[in-house]
Amino acid sequence: MSKEKLKLATNAPAEWPDVEISELVPERHREDYVSNVNKFNLALAAAFDGHPALELKEIAHCRMLEDGILEVPFEIVSEDHTFGLFLFSDACSASAAAFKGVQNIYNSWEEHTAIYYSPGPLKLSNGPELSPLRPFAFDIFLKLSGEAATPGEYAMWWPENEEDRFCNSETHCLLNRIYAALDGIETYVNAMLLHNLDVLEEHEPSFRVSLPQQPANIPILGPDGLPMLLSLSHEKGIRFLMHREQTAPACSKLFLKHLAEFVERIREDIVHHQMRLDEASVAVEWFKSSVETIRLQESSGGELDAFGVVRVGSQSMTSE
């Protein structure tokens, strides 16, 4: 005998269809949240089927902000307006406070409105507000197939204007922090990345994985839906290359800031627990040598069009 479905409470527009779900589990762990969101996905698909005016736009979308990541499980587009759909497994005061934090951020964006779904109504009129932001982590990335990679030029840096120079840029400083933090812990970070992207073979060790001798460029979607390449190689290390045409310079720098802070925290943990470090990174020397070459080029009046470039075509991928 099937269980009776629960009609979720919401602040959605009255004309929207009801959303019914079989059950929601208490969210004690990240896996519980993911399980609930997957059930919510099926419930939304069933509810909004036959409503062409309401278009499901994003699934598991992460928005980068200065202080962290706002996770938006789903977005619905109706004409020129975007609605973010946020699921809460419990209609408690903490859920209400968290949703008020979501509203404070999400509703501040032009033509955006936050919508909650919960087992019961959330009491939003009074009470505190909690930050809905989560820390940066590697689970915000989504692996794409090679065919799904967005064609174009990907790079570690490119100038914002004619006067911009790599060696004087904020990006140079951030990349320097990242390479310094990765020195000695590349195998740990590489394993974390590959595990989160679900590309490790079952027989491979899960906590340390060496970088490949031949470069491997993995198409991924990053926060804000940005197309990226995760470039892995023994020579050049772990690099995130961003699509030049689709990535605003401010967004690129914010991503690198979060990445630098995250890798520095990983390094602190590894050192604190006295875990065995890798041998000195070849990639650090490659980066230092590249920077010195660029410095000489720029000091003599030369201009750098981009640094760390990989070009993706409809059927090929080439590196500089």
Residue with tokens 């060696």: 167
Alpha-carbon span 166 to 306, nearest angstrom? 9
Determine the 3-state secondary structure of 180 from DSSP.
helix
Q: Which of 64-68, 93-97, 160-164 has the lowest mean pLDDT?
A: 160-164
Give pTM, 2 decimals.
Answer: 0.89
Q: What share of the chain is helix, strand, coil (3-state, %, to 5)?
A: 35, 25, 40
Q: Which helix (H) or strand (E) holds 55?
A: strand 55-65
Q: 23, 34 in Cβ contact below 8 A?
A: no
Determine the 3-state secondary structure of 35 from DSSP.
helix
* Structure-block tokens of residue 146: 């090679």
Residue with tokens 């400083």: 173
Strand bridging mode 81-87 / 152-155: unpaired
Alpha-carbon span 1 to 4, nearest angstrom? 9
Residue with tokens 């499901």: 56
Determine the 3-state secondary structure of 19 from DSSP.
coil
Does residue 289 or residue 319 have the better pLDDT?
Answer: 289
pLDDT band at 128 (very low <50, low <70, confident <90, very high): confident
Alpha-carbon span 237 to 285, nearest angstrom? 10
- Of all residues in the chain, the percent with pLDDT exceeding 90 is 69
- Of all residues in the chain, the percent with pLDDT exceeding 70 is 93
Q: 280, 185 in Cβ contact below 8 A?
A: no
- Please tell me the predicted confidence (pLDDT) of residue 60: 64
- Please tell me the predicted confidence (pLDDT) of residue 1: 44
Q: Which of 47-56, 223-232, 276-285, 290-299 has the lowest mean pLDDT?
A: 47-56
Out of 42-56, 147-161, 198-212, the most confident range is 147-161
- Please tell me the predicted confidence (pLDDT) of residue 146: 63
The residues near 192 (Cβ < 8 Å, ≥ 6 apart) are 138, 266
Mean pLDDT of 63-76: 93
Of 14, 37, 17, 36, nearest in space to 26 by CA: 36
Q: Which domains does the chain have, with CATH numbers?
A: 6-118 (3.40.1350), 138-319 (no CATH)
* Structure-block tokens of residue 169: 């840029």
Q: 36, 87 in Cβ contact below 8 A?
A: yes
Across the chain, mean pLDDT equals 90
- Please tell me the predicted confidence (pLDDT) of residue 3: 66
Q: 193, 212 in Cβ contact below 8 A?
A: no
Does residue 284 or residue 23 have the better pLDDT?
Answer: 284
- Over 60: is that where the pLDDT of 142 sits? yes
- Over 60: is that where the pLDDT of 118 sits? yes
What's the CA angle centered on 111, arms 107 and 112, to 5 degrees? 40
pLDDT band at 127 (very low <50, low <70, confident <90, very high): confident
Identity (one letter) of the amino acid at 248?
Answer: A
Q: Which of 75-79, 129-133, 181-185, 242-246 has the lowest mean pLDDT?
A: 75-79
- Over 80: is that where the pLDDT of 126 sits? no
Mean pLDDT of 183-197: 94
- Over 80: is that where the pLDDT of 45 sits? yes
> What are the tens digits of pLDDT across the range 291-304?
999 999 999 998 89
State the CB neighbour count (10 A cutoff) for residue 205: 10
> What are the tens digits of pLDDT across the range 222-259?
998 899 999 999 999 999 999 999 999 999 999 999 99
